[in-house]
Amino acid sequence: MESTLAILIAAIAIGLVKGGIGGSLAGAIVLPLLTQRMSVAGAVGVAMPLLITGDIFAMRVYWREWEVRYLRLLLPGAIVGIVVGTVLLVSLPDLVLRRILGVTTIAAVLYKLASDSMPHLNYQPRNWHGQLAGMAAGLTSTLANLGGPPITAWLLLQRSQPTAFVGTITFFFFFVNLAKLPGYFATGVVDLALIASLAWALPFVPPFVWLGRRVINQVNRPLFERVMLALLALAGISLLLSEPVS
């Protein structure tokens, strides 16, 4: 029952994130939540069908709103990060993965606290910055579904328009999540039996994508972000201290 509740909350959170609410903060809470009831690799596997369901509906909402020139820089590095991340995910012990997830979760909190100053930096764009951001996002997304901070930080520095910002992130993670599937299937992180067992949760994702898109401008963003930061910090600390789930 507790695992079922965690999966349901994850489905709702993913739907809201894909609809535009919470960004990398809300998305970052999904894996720490699931790892309270299962291994890191198990949580990654459970999250994948939910994420791809959300991606499909988010692509419809933000169709062709992305910046192709940014994607050309980001996607090649992302593929490299996905390959490295898949190897590490199935090679490292669960305890090590928990510590990595804890550190990256805390890093996401620190990123958010520092990100408000990013648009004001005297930044000089370089192509390799985008390639590095794509690689970092591919790696952290594959290991921990925490690819949002590297991409968000890089796009903030590009000063892209809000719609293009969300559209580019939407396409990027649609591509990344699909690209992760072959490696996940090959290593057993995801299989057809797992997808079938999650069939009950998938219908919860699309309505919350729609809801997120509808209410994105009505949410008290500062309050929401403070709550998410507190939850993320607690989740990160828990992962740094917790032992593998038997």
Instruction: Quick: pLDDT tens for 86-137.
Output: 999 889 888 888 888 788 778 777 877 776 666 566 667 788 989 999 999 9
pTM: 0.82
Does 42 score more than 60 pLDDT?
yes
Provide the sign of the torsion angle of the four alpha carbons 91, 33, 109, 184, taken in this order. Answer: positive
Residue with tokens 């590009």, as numbered in its chain = 158
> What DSSP element (H or E) covers 99?
helix 94-115
Burial 74-93 (b: 16+ CB within 10 A, else e): bbebbeebbbebbeebeebe
What pLDDT, on the 0 to 100 scale, is given for residue 217?
66
What pLDDT, on the 0 to 100 scale, is given for residue 33?
83
Structural domain boundaries of the chain? 2-241
